[in-house]
């Protein structure tokens, strides 16, 4: 009966400030880290609206500017001692890494260190000071209401985590935990926790079933039951989140929301890690995303889902440790998916498309003249091979301006490695995940990671039309140039022959070359050489006329 007063005390008034979201951690321990603009292009294509950085990488912060993507920055552990011991050092960090980028870059949260209590215990004594100093710098910049400050903790600091109602923090850390929780509560911040059911499962010696760790559906008689609350738990994730709520309540903090800053499952491991597989990783992350976005919440807090950052965006091939440490990513360094998530009906984020299959298409309703000018640019200065758009070729049909523009736009976009800004064309193009291929016209994906274009925007298009060609397609112009080149080459060769024959004394007519050329032209059936190139409803005509009176 002694437990009852505690359970009454543990009733939480936690509420969500916004709808729960799925974010992604971006690690950089890659031998060939993608350019920041490509990272952002991938985030946009996958509709990832929340990211967490493990530092304050300037390149990524600049690339994320004006995207609307919400960014969580981190003070790396190696900078924690300096910031925790000096208010001015903290102020300088905030000035250089936050104020310099906000609000263009939508920074919403600062993580001060990561798993400090379990991985860097010697720095634990300055952790709370570091939190306060960073927050004070935000106050001085009038940003404390826009940006929250917290620190991610390992779930290992929670002892006796099942049943959740009996969970408590490692008491040796109470001198740190109590003032830290007090700070989080007073600043309306969040309790950050890294939850890895994979490790819980691996270390349980068979006590935790694999299906329970993977969010797989369990019959009610297989669910874990908290004997004190009679709450049923169908997965490790929810049990650990509720354990955090109960552990905070044990210290009399009942209104601090939990955010999961890391969770995931490795897709590959060594011989001692048989459950680090593609299928398990796919199952866990797919079910995690669906669980969070379904807003079912946890048994203790039904209807209040916990925002979660998936660990992680890329496989980090140079990360130290066992093979599994290098294989937590959703994508490899080239933006190719490690596996395809099963997310039918789970909203837009990563919606059934982790294959990075993005395409550039003509925007519906775009102005025809601007669309034509953009097509001209792509097939001309943009150096796109538009020959498949010629009559009789694979992408000629349908013979419409938007269809032809889509082919040219996407070819340019793929050629440039899908770099941010290469699918704009003065506002008449847009990125889509729907493959525009049709019939014999196949739109190919680019396997280039960086391409040859590293600037964040494509060159400005020359939208001015001039000369007698008007708005004629650049593809037709390219063919016209080819025909004219053939014609002038013929004239040149005939002139050379005439000169040789003349020098040899063979000629008795100074106009032999012109006469011969005239006969060549008559071989085409007319004294007038004419050609009409057709590319849809856009025509180019040229005439070369020889007057008999001049011969």
Structure-token pair, residue 484:
């004219």
Low-confidence winner among 151-165, 280-294, 421-435 (lowest mean pLDDT): 421-435
Rounded average pLDDT over 164-171: 94
Between 361 and 542, the more confident residue is 361
Least confident of 14-23, 81-90, 454-463: 454-463
**Length of the chain as a residue count:** 551
The answer to whether residues 430 and 423 touch, using CB atoms and an 8 Å cutoff, is yes
In the DSSP assignment, the letter for residue 155 is G
Q: Above 60 in pLDDT, residue 508?
A: no
Average pLDDT (292-303) is 92
Q: CA-CA distance, 6 to 4, in Å (whole number)?
A: 5
More confident residue, 262 or 435: 262
Proportion of the chain above pLDDT 70, given as a percent: 74
**Catalytic residue set:** 115, 262
Residues 6+ apart with CB under 8 A from 25: 51, 52, 54, 261, 262, 309, 310, 311, 312, 313
pLDDT value, residue 551: 38
pLDDT at 43 over 50: yes
More confident residue, 400 or 452: 400
pLDDT digits (tens, 9 = 90+) for 152-167: 999 999 998 899 999 9
Contact 547, 514 (CB under 8 A): no
Instruction: Give the residues across from 533 on adjacent strands.
Output: 540
Phi, psi (rounded to 5 degrees) for 52: -125, 130
| DSSP states of 153-176 | EEGGGEES-SSGGG-EE-GGGHHH
> What is the average per-residue pLDDT within 443-452?
46
Looking at residue 513, its pLDDT comes to: 44
pLDDT tens-digit readout, 331-349: 888 888 888 787 755 555 5
Residue of 537 and 42 predicted with greater confidence: 42
pTM: 0.65
Summary mean pLDDT of the chain: 80
Dump pLDDT digits (tens) for 467-482.
322 333 444 444 444 5
Q: Which has more pLDDT, 310 or 488?
A: 310
Task: Tell me the β-bridge partners of 193.
Answer: 153, 260
- Alpha-carbon distance of 316 to 323, in angstroms, equals 10
How much is the pLDDT for 490? 65
């Amino acid at each position: 009966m002694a437990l009852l007063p505690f359970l009454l005390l543990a009733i939480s008034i936690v509420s969500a400030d916004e709808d729960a979201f799925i974010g992604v951690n971006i690690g950089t321990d890659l031998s060939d880290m993608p350019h920041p603009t490509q990272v952002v292009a991938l985030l946009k294509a996958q509709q990832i609206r929340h990211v967490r950085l493990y530092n304050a990488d300037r390149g990524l912060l600049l690339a994320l500017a004006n995207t609307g993507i919400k960014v969580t920055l981190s003070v790396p552990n190696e900078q924690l001692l300096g910031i925790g011991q000096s208010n001015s050092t903290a102020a300088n960090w905030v000035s250089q890494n936050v104020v310099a980028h906000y609000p263009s870059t939508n920074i919403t949260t600062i993580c001060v260190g990561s798993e400090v209590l379990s991985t860097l215990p010697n720095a634990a004594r300055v952790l709370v000071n570091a939190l306060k100093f960073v927050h004070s710098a935000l106050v001085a910049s009038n940003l404390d209401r826009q940006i929250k400050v917290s620190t991610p903790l390992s779930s290992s600091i929670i002892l006796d985590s099942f049943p959740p109602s009996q969970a408590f923090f490692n008491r040796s850390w109470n001198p740190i935990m109590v003032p830290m929780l007090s700070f989080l509560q007073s600043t309306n911040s969040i309790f950050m926790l890294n939850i890895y059911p994979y490790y819980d499962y691996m270390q349980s010696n068979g006590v935790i079933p694999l299906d329970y760790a993977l969010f797989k559906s369990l019959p009610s008689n297989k669910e874990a039951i908290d004997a004190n609350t009679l709450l049923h738990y169908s997965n490790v994730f929810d049990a650990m989140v509720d354990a955090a709520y109960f552990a905070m309540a044990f210290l009399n903090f009942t209104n601090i929301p939990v955010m999961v800053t890391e969770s995931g499952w490795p897709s590959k491991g060594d011989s001692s890690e048989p459950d680090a597989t593609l299928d398990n990783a796919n199952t866990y992350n797919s079910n995690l995303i669906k669980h969070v976005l379904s807003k079912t919440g946890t048994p203790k807090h039904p209807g209040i889902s916990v925002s979660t950052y998936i660990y992680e965006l890329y496989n980090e091939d140079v990360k130290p440790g066992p093979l599994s440490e290098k294989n937590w990513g959703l994508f490899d360094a080239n933006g190719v998916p490690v596996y395809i998530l099963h997310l039918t009906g789970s909203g837009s984020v990563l919606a059934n498309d982790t294959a990075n299959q993005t395409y550039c298409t003509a925007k519906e309703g775009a102005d025809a003249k601007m669309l034509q000018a953009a097509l001209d640019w792509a097939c001309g200065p943009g150096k796109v091979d538009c020959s498949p758009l010629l009559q009789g070729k694979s992408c000629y049909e349908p013979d419409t301006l938007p269809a032809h523009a889509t082919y040219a736009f996407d070819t340019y976009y793929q050629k440039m490695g899908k770099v941010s800004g290469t699918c704009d064309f003065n506002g008449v193009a847009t990125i889509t995940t729907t493959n525009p291929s049709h019939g014999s016209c196949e739109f190919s994906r680019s396997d280039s990671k960086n391409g040859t274009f590293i600037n964040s925007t494509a060159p400005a298009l020359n939208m001015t039309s001039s000369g007698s060609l008007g708005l004629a397609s650049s593809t037709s112009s390219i063919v016209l140039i080819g025909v004219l080149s053939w014609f002038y080459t013929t004239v040149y060769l005939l002139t050379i022959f005439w000169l040789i024959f003349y020098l040899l004394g063979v000629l008795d007519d100074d106009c032999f070359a012109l006469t011969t050329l005239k006969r060549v032209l008559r071989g085409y059936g007319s004294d007038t050489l004419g050609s009409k190139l057709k590319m849809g409803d856009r025509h180019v005509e040229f005439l070369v006329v020889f007057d008999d009176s001049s011969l």
